[in-house]
Structure 1
Amino acid sequence: MTPTPPPAFDLGPALALTLAALNIVNILYTWWRTRDQNVETRFRAGSERMDRLDTRLASVEQTLRAQPSKDDLHQLQLALKEVQGELKTMTAIMEGNNKIMERLEGIVARHENHLLDGAK
């Protein structure tokens, strides 16, 4: 019987496994070196965004503080009702004055007619 030679060592799978391990190490190294930069950039962008939101929120709060409240609107409504009542009173007084003026105009017209007719 002849001895069988040992199987030949195939470098293909070992080389593929080594390359895969190197790729993983490269990915981890790149992530480790750039993680601080990404976090810092994202933190800075988030901080700027939050500052803009704080500014907008302060502006909205200031606008809302300047708006009239429910009580202010109620006081305004009461004041308008009071003005409306005073306008009705003034209208009644003006109508009375107009009627007086019409009577006075009639009296003055009669006096004019009497004086004009009496002089003839």
Structure 2
Amino acid sequence: MNATIDPQVLAQFTGTETYYRLGPVLRDALCTDGVHYLMSNGMAWLVTDAMAVVTTRPEHDGFFMIEFTPREDGSGELVIGDGNGTDVHRQVYNSHAYKLGKPLRMFAEFGEVEKPQWIVLLASEH
């Protein structure tokens, strides 16, 4: 499935009004309006891959930086870091549906909305 991400729409997410559950496997994680937009428009694979790594990390300080960088050859790389320059996970994709020419950055923060849980949000929503 091709992603139908509109860069102008993506840029409008600067906060969230609603939190969305990420499903039964990631039941201790929520996402914001902006991340829900990504997931609804062909990029659920990226969010679930990233959050599968984040939610299973036994040691953390409550924050991860998630960045997906598309490459000109159609491949891409997901890097999850601690926000202080240390990468904790790298994953290469041979192909992807993210057609924007710049990296996509998200954050995962451990917080409390309904209960203590992970919340994934776009960098612009932070």
Bigger proportion of residues as helix: 1
Greater relative contact order, per chain length (Cα 8 Å cut-off, separation 6+): 2
Q: Normalized against structure 1, the TM-score is what?
A: 0.15
The alignment's TM-score, normalised by the length of structure 2, stands at 0.15
Identify the structure with the greater strand proportion: 2
Greater Cα radius of gyration, structure 1 or 2: 1
